[in-house]
């Protein structure tokens, strides 16, 4: 990526990526890049570079989640690019916007599938990052029951952020990853005329119609190898048949014995991959 910007390949450090991937496909290998949910909020050009057009275009199309119901300003979260906004997949312009910029990435480097990450959608702030975006009457203060007993805005978009259809993030949060997968699948079927290959982290019941999932950032321990079996079976029950976990573990160092055992189990995952921090 260039400057942590979605859809933009670094032209200096990875200028030959497109040709590199073309060489891979001759060996029947496939390239599946990560696209994060957070769109870098790069308001103006930096060091002579042009403004970040996916952000500018999204603002013009009004397709980003709003900070709250009494403002037209997009919610500004914080992820890898620091300030970031989030595509509102309930907006009627969202599909055209998403497909247009995915096609822009396709023109830079041909990809066979997409890995949708950080799509809970993640936010390194606890709800709002900036005080001037806060709602006057936060909805979380009025909840009679808080599932899990923890702050629901922890590493997440603020619950008072509002979508185009009028729903608060409180109500739409669990659907975000599923809607992103749905719009991404539409790009593959309608623009590329290909069967989608989508890997998602945040999903919802029935998401398997559009893509697969892995179980997120697990730990390199035997306990998490065991959890993966029930996690995959639960995904199957929820309509996501192609599911798997990070073989050998993601967080922390694995070891030869654990990794060998995990590969034995992982060979039977519907979706099988190795992935480590």
193-201's contacts with Cβ under 8 Å and 24+ in sequence apart are 196/113, 197/30, 197/32, 197/112, 197/113, 197/114, 198/113, 198/114, 198/115, 198/116, 199/32, 199/113, 199/114, 199/115, 199/116, 199/271, 200/116, 200/119, 201/116, 201/117, 201/118, 201/119, 201/120, 201/177
- Of the candidates 272, 224, 215, which has an alpha carbon nearest to the alpha carbon of residue 252? 224
C-alpha angle 275/84/125, rounded to 5°? Answer: 80
Q: Can 117 be counted among the known catalytic residues?
A: yes
- Can you give 94-138 as a three-state secondary structure string? HHHHHHHHHHHHHHHCCCCCEEEECCCCECCCCCCCCHHHCCCCC
Catalytic residue among 117, 160, 169, 246: 117
Q: What is the DSSP letter of 24?
A: H
CA distances from residue 258 to 52, 208, 215, 226, 244 in whole angstroms, order as listed: 44, 29, 18, 11, 17
* CA end-to-end distance (rounded Å), the chain: 18
Q: How far apart are CA 207 and CA 234, in angstroms?
A: 13
120 is catalytic: yes
* Annotated active-site residue in 2, 82, 110, 120: 120
Nearest to residue 232, comparing CAs of 273, 184, 260, 197? 273
Catalytic residue numbers read: 117, 120
């Amino acid at each position: 990526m260039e400057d942590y910007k979605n859809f933009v390949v670094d032209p200096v450090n990875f200028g030959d990526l497109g040709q590199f991937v073309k060489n891979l496909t001759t060996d029947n290998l496939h390239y599946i890049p990560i696209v994060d949910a957070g769109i870098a909020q790069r308001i103006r050009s930096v060091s002579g570079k042009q403004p970040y057009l996916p952000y500018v275009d999204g603002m013009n199309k009004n397709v980003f989640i709003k900070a709250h119901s009494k403002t037209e300003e997009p919610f500004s979260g914080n992820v890898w690019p620091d300030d970031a906004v989030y595509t509102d997949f309930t907006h009627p312009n969202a599909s055209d916007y998403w497909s247009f910029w995915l096609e822009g990435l396709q023109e830079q480097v041909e990809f066979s599938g997409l890995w949708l990450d950080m799509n809970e959608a993640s936010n390194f702030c606890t709800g709002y990052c900036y005080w001037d975006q806060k709602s006057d009457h936060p909805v979380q203060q009025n909840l009679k029951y808080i599932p899990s007993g923890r702050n629901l805005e922890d590493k997440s978009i603020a619950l008072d952020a509002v979508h185009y259809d009028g729903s608060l993030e409180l109500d739409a949060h669990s659907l975000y990853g599923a809607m992103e997968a749905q719009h991404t699948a539409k790009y593959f079927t309608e623009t590329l005329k290909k069967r989608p290959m989508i890997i998602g982290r945040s999903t919802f019941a029935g998401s398997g119609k559009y893509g697969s999932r892995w179980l997120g950032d697990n730990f390199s321990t035997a306990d998490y190898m065991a959890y993966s079996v029930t996690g995959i079976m639960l995904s199957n029950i929820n309509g996501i048949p192609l599911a798997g976990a990070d073989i050998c573990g993601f967080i922390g160092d694995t070891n030869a014995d654990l990794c060998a055992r995990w590969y034995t189990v992982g060979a039977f995952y519907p979706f099988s991959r190795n992935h480590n921090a």
